[in-house]
Structure formats: C-alpha cells, structure tokens
Amino acid sequence: MKALVRGLSVLALAAAPVTGAAAEEVLNLYSSRHYQTDEALYENFTKETGVKINRIEGKGDALIERIKSEGANSPADVLLTVDAGRLWRAEQAGLFQPVESKLLDEVVPANLRHPEGLWYGFSSRARVIYYAKDRVQSDAISSYEELADPKWKGKICIRSSSNIYNQSLMGSIIAAHGEQAAEDWAKGVVANLARDPQGGDTDQIRAVAAGECDLAVGNTYYYVRLMTNPKDADKGVADKVGWVFPNQGDRGTHVNVSGAGVLKNAPNKAAAVKFLEYLASEGAQRYFADGNNEYPVAGTVKGNSAVESLGTFKVDPLNVAVYGENQPKAQKVFDRAGWK
C-alpha cells in the first residue's frame, strides 16, 4: 500500500501543469509484474526514448478495479499484466483502446494478441505436466486429457479453480472439446487428486518431488527457477521431477502470455504506443527471456539457455483471447465438477 501511495504522488506531479520549460514526456504504467529485472527493462526504455516511466504496481485484478474507479480522469496510459484471462477482464471493463502498429503486428504472432489490437502478448510460458522421475515413466502421459484417466487416482496435484492459469487452461479445453466434455474431464481430474487444490505452481512441483503426488501441472518458468536458482530448501527438487509438453500429437501445448494494452483514457497515448513497440524489440524481449525465464514472442529471439534446455514443442495455435472469452464457462464447469 505504501508503494501505491508513493506512486500516486509521482503520478499526481506528472499530471500537473508545467510552466516555463517544456513538459517532460512521461508514461504512466500500471503493472502487475514484480520482477527485479523489469527495472532494467524500464530504465532502458527511458534511455532509448527519453520518456520517463511513472509506475504503480499491484495485483492485476486490483489494478483493473483501480482504473475503473478512476474513470475518465485516470492517469494510467498502459496496463501490463499476466495472463490473457486477466487482459480479457480489463477488455470487458472497456479499459483498452485499439492500437494500430505495423511493427507490433509483424513481431507478435497473431495467436498471442487480441484480434482487434486491444492488447498484445510480449512473453509466453507453457503450462506443462510434471512427473516424478522415480515413479513415472516419461512416456506414461502425453496429454491434458489423460489427467482424467482413473489410473492416476490419488496421484495428481494441481492449483485451485480460482487460479487464473487454470481458468485459462480450462478455457482452451472448452474450445477444443466443448463444455460437456470439459466438465467430464474436470470431474475425472478431481477424482484423481492426491490432495485438495492448494498453493502455487512451485508448490505443485515440490509436492511431486516430496512424494505427495506423481503428477502436477504448472507453468514452465517456475520449474526453470527451481533448476537455476533454488532456495536452500528446494535444492534437488528439480532433479527429481521431469516434464512433458502435452498434446504434441494433436493440438499442441497450452501457452499463455504476459501482455499490455493502451488504456482508453491514456493522457500520453503516443508514449504508450511507443512503449508497447519497445516491448516487442529484441532488447526488451531479451529481458523477458533472461529476467523471468519466459519465452520471447519475437521469433528472432531465443529463450535463455535453461529455458531452451526444456526442448522445443508444438504450441496450441488457439488465439489466447479465447481463454478470456471462455472464462465464465470455465468457472461454471469447475464449480459443477466440484473442483475447489
């Protein structure tokens, strides 16, 4: 909260009229990303463009509510947040305006951006299946659908149905199979749980390593963190856990994005578009890859060596905007299936 208050004072100053010398060009950024390496990302933008970034950080949904409450007088120019489902929530609230940018359309793959340019994905992560190396063969499971197979009864760990990552995954399954088949799948997964859904993605991987379950679902960058920079208590966890990129024989693995859009009432629209185009640059894409072990969206930039060591995989070509569109259905499916 203190950080938000400090941010507000900065933004208030930035919005105040300037007399005498020419006004400094600024960008007011609301961000739910909290990675230390993003500091360098922002500093480099200022060095390249001369545009000063005033930043307010918070959780994605809280920032969306804040922008809504600020209304037409909001100082926010750009919302940067995690998960296409959350970008959809901002979109549904009418917060974004479309951006026309040849550069963005050329760099960001069509399936990783809004069809009408309301927001763009700038980094991605895959949601994969993890398995216990000492108890599960690497070829024992190959798809999300198989998580509902009764042979895995009492052997699966996964996050709650309220988790945005799982809601987006369910949105993709609804798109692939329809709502009824998705509900049947969810009931099968619930029947196979080793414990009630709890914790974050890292907790699911830890549970596999500790023998609490044989399979888990989580985003790739959490595993890479355990590979490359584990806390003392997590040393050796990654060595006990393998990974599978699901559905390589059909539609491909589910991926999601961190993304951003220009806000409808942005007072500094030109700077906002410039910032989005900067996020698609090779330098910024390198920050995403190295800073949080994410996959760059620009085809000219590779992930860092640890991410690349996971191997190549076929990506589900479904437009990530569909995850949000299916979010209301996804939550209803989870509820009917008894997924806590």
Q: What are the tens digits of pLDDT across the range 147-195?
A: 999 999 999 999 999 999 999 999 999 999 999 999 999 999 999 999 9
In the predicted structure, residue 251 carries a pLDDT above the cut 70 = yes
Question: Tell me: domain 2-124+256-303, CATH 3.40.190.10, correct?
Answer: yes
Banded model confidence at residue 23, pLDDT cuts 50, 70, 90: low
Assess whether the region 2-124+256-303 and the region 125-253+321-337 belong to the same CATH fold: yes
Question: Helix/strand/coil (H, E, C) string of the chain?
Answer: CHHHHHHHHHHHHHHCCCCCCCCCCEEEEEECCCCCCHHHHHHHHHHHHCCEEEEEECCHHHHHHHHHHHHHHCCCCEEEEECHHHHHHHHHCCCECCCCCHHHHHHCCHHHECCCCCCEEEEEEEEEEEEECCCCCCCCCCCCHHHHCHHHCCCEECCCCCCHHHHHHHHHHHHHHCHHHHHHHHHHHHHCECCCCCCCHHHHHHHHHHCCCCEEEEEHHHHHHHHHCCCHHHCCCHHHEEEECCCCCCCCECEEEEEEEEECCCCCHHHHHHHHHHHCCHHHHHHHHHHHCCEECCCCCCCCHHHHCCCCCCECCCCCHHHHHCHHHHHHHHHHHCCC
Banded model confidence at residue 231, pLDDT cuts 50, 70, 90: very high
Banded model confidence at residue 292, pLDDT cuts 50, 70, 90: confident
pTM of the model: 0.90
Q: Domain map of the chain by residue range?
A: 2-124+256-303, 125-253+321-337
Read off the pLDDT of each residue in 237-254 and give the average, rounded to a whole number.
98
Fold classified for 125-253+321-337: D-Maltodextrin-Binding Protein; domain 2 (3.40.190)
- Mean confidence (pLDDT) of the chain: 92
